[in-house]
A and B are shown apart, each in its own frame.
Chain A
Amino acid sequence: MTPVFSSPTLPLADVFNASPNGVILLQPIWHVDGTVVDFAFTFINDRAFSKSGLLKGWQAGTTLLDWYAGKGRVGLFDQYVAVFQTGQSIHFSDYQPDEDEWYELTAARVGDQLMITFHDVTQANRALRLMQHQRDLLQTMLDTSPAGIVLYEAIRNDEGQIVDFRYVLTNPTNARVTNQSVAEMTGQLLSVVSPTAFYGDFLQVLVSVTETGVPRQFTFPFEGEGIRGWFESTFVRQADGVLFTFLDITALKDSEQQQELQARLLQTVVDVSQTGISLYRAVRESLPGEEVGSIQDFQVVLSNQQAQQNWGLPAEQSGNLTALGTQPDEPDPSSVLDRFVRVVETGRPETWETRSPVDGRWHKVLVAKADDGVVVASVDITESHLYQQRLEDANAALNRLNEKLQRFSAVASHDLQEPLRKVKFYGDMLLHEYAPTLTEEGVILLKTMREAAERMQRLIDNLLFYARLDAGLADAKPVDLQELVGQVIGDLSLNVQGAAIDVGPLPTVMGDRIQLGQLFQNLVNNALKYRRPDVSLRLQVRADRVTADELPQLLPQPTEPVSDGFWRIVMTDNGIGFEPRHAERIFQSFERLPGRTVGTGLGLAICKQVAENHGGFLTATGEPNQGATFTLYLPKATGEG
């Protein structure tokens, strides 16, 4: 390399030229007042020249300030002057923006000249900056990563076996999860930071990855050192160690588990339910674009055990409604499809009763819209269905029986009475027209026959009356009992001669005059029939009011509350009475107490039925040879006096 100008005064030129550093000598240019105003280049070595970029625009005779001006920069003139004046050398870095080059410079006064030595550090600087940049990037990533990151370095013993791992680096996310700071962990041993991990499977995983180089990836639960959670993790070998990254998915896992639990719970509830439950999704015709196609079928999405049992639904949730054929309604699955479609389209639930061809039992089926499909619930109603059937059968039988009874009543009122009437009629004619030609005994026989016919007539009348009583009360009207009982006794006036009859004030009740008249007539007749032959009859009728609570306990309580209470009408006689144990029996039809042959056996049964027809009760008490007491309870109608 040839110097720009030779300097015979500077024999060291060759030495400088051999230097790997650039060397430039500057000669101060003095002003008359003794200040340095510029520097002239006195030497530039080969090395400096080789940096063509650096000395771009420099020509022989160019001063330092000219050069700077050419480069358009202020440069280091002032510093150079200071170095020259103080003799204090400086060392600094200089950046050449034009060339994007970095230089390390030393400026020192050498005699009356300034020597600048420099070398290019651009390459080194670049590498350094790149490294710095990468480190910054890494740090940012570490600091901001949502994943926990740990770089472990294996600690080996003398035999080369891994005995522990050291935290080479970690990040804030890991710090947050473990409740330890990054600084606390960095450089520490795994055995110190997390004994649980060290003595657990975690260490084994680290060892295996370090030794084999095979990355591992799995989700694991961890509990220890105040940590409890689920972690999705990756283990990758890194040098003689492992890069461990993980995501804390505890919240996700918890909600997942919660959902699973609830789903299991729901399934259990659904499965133990006696109600068959199944869910269907509509299968629609696929149309281009946003258009919704018409429903073509339904697909089973879910069904519980009961539904599977009842309707033969498949346990694995698949299959279309139409394909299932047997379900959930016979005889025509398409009618069920129509119903389902209607429910989805109208949103209105439908319900019907049907017999399952699968289990042969009756079910009440309820179908309601659920999203784009239906939910079907079915309840086994076989028992109630059978019960209903039995009830209807029994009702029909009862109706048939009633009809028969009605027919019997019609037949009896004519066909039974007709011959009897003839017997009576001709007997009467015999008595009237032929009595003179009959013997006395013949007349007695004839009279006995007529009396028998009369009894038969009474029996038929009573029977017919009793049969009609079952119809209940057709039309209740106010009945003045005082007047009614008076009339009954009046009608029996011939028979009650010599009897002391005392009828206390009696109320007016709502009822059937004919039925009530029959009741009192039968009761008075009863008293007359069973009077004591040696004692004149005393008959007393009294009335008072009682509340429903005061009714005798033995009586069936009224089904509907009788707010106004009851009239209690008590008829007491001093007749032959009866054994108290017969108190119930006397009311039964065709029952006559021992030794009593008079009567039809229907009188008191009629009385009891009349009382019940009026919503009341009739009871009897008695003592042999003391008398009998009949107590009639009639509900007091609203507004009665």
Chain B
Amino acid sequence: MAYNNLIFTADDDEDDRLLLQQAFQQQSPGCQLVFFADGDELLSALTNTPPHELPRLIILDLNMPRMSGFEVLKRLKAHPRLRVIPVVIMTTSSRPEDISLSYQSGSSSFVTKPASYDRLLELVQITRQYWFETVTVYSEF
């Protein structure tokens, strides 16, 4: 089965969604980003997606209305099919509590949102290189 280049992203901040989209287009145009404004949307989309169309990576904000990123993460990791998808937490917070709880809840990586566009480009590059080129992710959904 061939790998797709899908990344599902849940973030309630429209600015951040646009910046991330722009950075990926500029830095890693091969990646296809699908944006959701909150966790609910993300989860329902994921559960309704056929296996071969599931994303290779999920980028998840923590601070979202209705359902927090932690709750989304917990549900993802409790789901028999979705649990294998790596989740990168990307949030404004750098609180130690948030970092440790994220990893405890099963996130694969924790990233604090950069404060400059250059840093964002850097981050997009690293993310793509790592998750799409370096590591082998589980693909038998």
Q: Which residues of A does B touch, CB under 8 Å? A: 409-410, 413-415, 417-418, 421-422, 424-425, 428-429, 432, 457, 464, 468
Contact = CB atoms under 8 A, between A and B. Distances in A.
B116 A424 contact: yes
Interface of B: 13, 15, 19, 62-63, 91-98, 113-118, 120
Q: Which 5 A-B pairs have the closest CB atoms?
A: A428-B116, A424-B115, A413-B95, A413-B93, A414-B63
B15 A414 contact: no
Given A410-B93, A429-B117, 7 more contacts: A410-B95, A425-B114, A428-B115, A428-B118, A432-B118, A464-B95, A468-B96
B115 A457 contact: yes
Contacts, number: 44
Given A413-B98, A414-B63, A418-B13, A425 B92 contact: no
Contacts of A410: 93, 95, 97
B94 to A, nearest CB: 7
B63 A421 contact: no
A117 B83 CA distance: 157
Nearest to A410: B95
Contacts of A432: 117-118
A122 B118 CA distance: 160
A409 B114 CA distance: 20
A516 to B, nearest CB: 16
Contacts of B113: 421
A414 B92 contact: yes
Nearest to B19: A425
Contacts of A414: 62-63, 91-93
Contacts of A468: 96
A470 B17 CA distance: 36
Contacts of B118: 428, 432
Contacts of B93: 410, 413-414, 417
Nearest to A430: B117
Contacts of B95: 409-410, 413, 464
Q: Which among B63, B96, B115 has the highest number of chain A CB atoms within 10 Å?
A: B115
Nearest to B94: A413
Nearest to A411: B63
A581 B107 CA distance: 52
B14 to A, nearest CB: 11
Q: Which among A417, A424, A432 has the highest number of chain B CB atoms within 10 Å?
A: A417
Contacts of A409: 95
Contacts of A429: 116-117
Contacts of A428: 115-118
B63 A422 contact: no
Contacts of B114: 425
A413 B93 CA distance: 5
